[in-house]
């Protein structure tokens, strides 16, 4: 038996769309027969049978997206041969695949004939990695494509729904990972950030410019956006930026990390972000644009209003209500049925046993 895996089509993408599957379960194929056709944002390729055999455990159908290294199918010598799907299926080590690199890094490496495989690194190679390998400082070298335009190209027409992220700080990194892990039907086309010293890329995602680029993105068919600003110390800012995205015509999907637990009876508006380890229990109501951060517990029947940020480790007992734009600090515990007003800030580690009026600031020593 031989496993056939999803190959890497280009160095910057770890998944591809299965455009067409040309075989069926149990079909006998010869070596070189085309099993399926894959397509990434930059390439289309056929996957051929490496040997003759019967197609078994076919894992994909046309129109699905597949991660690089996932088993496509097994090829067995006979139809009677057992296929142990649950057994470890380690992809063969690629002999010619390049490490993942940003577009700038790939262009720079190509111009200066740098073998990406020769650069020690973790994660995606960036322009800085290439410059360090060449012994140059940032800005010393520029690929020809970088000189031609200050705004990276946006590939809107490729597979997956295009989504743009607003904000290029630390919160944006978490959102990028959450989209990549939990919403593989989405494709991040870029980041928009209004800071004059914004970076050129974040985790391999290009920064396209400031908010003036929204109109062009909408014209090119980008309908979805995610807010990449946590704004723990100034939560009203998140409300303002959320409204800006809505006025620009974007739809903000709810983003839920695959390692979060959200009960099916939960009601929520749009643009909510629920991070890894969070538990949102039965009959909870979330407004719009809330952040339920890592390891937060929102017990049954809580009501969380628009733009609220529950920071890591907050614990809300059943029936708690939190008003709009409030920030609940790390490790805060809120007793059963307590009502927290709007624009409240509760400091880290506080224990809240009674109601809190609007615009109050609660510090641990006063609670």
The set of catalytic residues is 300
CB 246 within 8 A of CB 183: no
* Residue 309 annotated as part of some ligand binding site: yes
Q: Strand, helix or coil at 73?
A: strand
CA 60 to chain CA mean position, Å:
22
d(CA 293, CA 259): 12
Q: Which residues contact 223 (CB under 8 A, 6 or more apart)?
A: 161, 162, 249, 250, 251
d(CA 5, CA 225): 33
CB atoms within 10 A of CB 362: 19
Among residues 93, 72, 10, the alpha carbon closest in space to that of 45 is found at 10
> Cα-Cα-Cα-Cα dihedral of 73, 49, 18, 276, to 10°?
40
Annotated binding site: 309
Annotated binding site for acetyl-CoA: 309
């Amino acid at each position: 038996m031989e496993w056939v895996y999803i190959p890497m089509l280009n160095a910057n993408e770890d998944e591809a769309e299965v455009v067409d599957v040309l075989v069926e379960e149990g079909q006998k194929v010869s070596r070189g027969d085309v099993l399926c056709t894959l397509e990434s944002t930059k390439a289309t390729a056929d996957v051929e049978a490496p040997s003759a055999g019967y197609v078994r455990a076919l894992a994909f159908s046309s129109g699905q997206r597949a991660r690089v290294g996932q088993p496509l199918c097994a090829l067995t010598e006979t139809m009677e041969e057992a296929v142990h799907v649950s057994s470890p299926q380690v992809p063969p080590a690629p002999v010619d695949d390049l490490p993942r690199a940003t577009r700038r890094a790939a262009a720079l490496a190509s111009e200066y004939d740098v073998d990406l495989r020769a650069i020690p690194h973790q994660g995606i190679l960036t322009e800085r990695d290439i410059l360090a390998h060449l012994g140059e400082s940032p800005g010393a070298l520029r690929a020809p494509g970088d000189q031609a335009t200050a705004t990276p190209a946006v590939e809107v027409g490729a597979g997956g729904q295009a989504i743009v992220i607003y904000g290029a700080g630390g919160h944006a990194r978490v959102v990028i990972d959450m989209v990549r892990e939990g919403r593989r039907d989405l494709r991040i086309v870029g980041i928009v950030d209004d800071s004059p010293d914004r970076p050129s890329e974040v985790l391999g995602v290009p920064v396209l410019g400031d908010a003036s680029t929204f109109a062009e993105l909408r014209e090119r068919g980008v309908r979805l956006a995610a807010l990449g600003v946590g704004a723990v110390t100034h939560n009203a800012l998140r409300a303002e930026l959320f409204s800006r995205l809505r006025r620009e015509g974007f739809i903000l999907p709810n983003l839920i990390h695959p390692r979060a637990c959200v009960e099916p009876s939960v009601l929520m508006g749009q643009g909510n972000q629920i991070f890894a380890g969070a538990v949102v229990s039965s009959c909870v109501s979330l407004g719009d644009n809330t952040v339920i951060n890592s390891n937060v517990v929102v017990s049954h029947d809580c009501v969380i209003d628009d733009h609220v940020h529950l920071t890591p480790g907050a614990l809300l007992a059943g029936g708690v209500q939190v008003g709009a734009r409030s920030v609940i600090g790390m490790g805060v515990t809120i007793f059963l049925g307590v009502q927290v007003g709007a624009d409240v800030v509760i400091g880290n580690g506080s224990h809240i046993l009674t109601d809190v009026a609007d615009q109050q600031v609660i510090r641990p020593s006063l609670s």
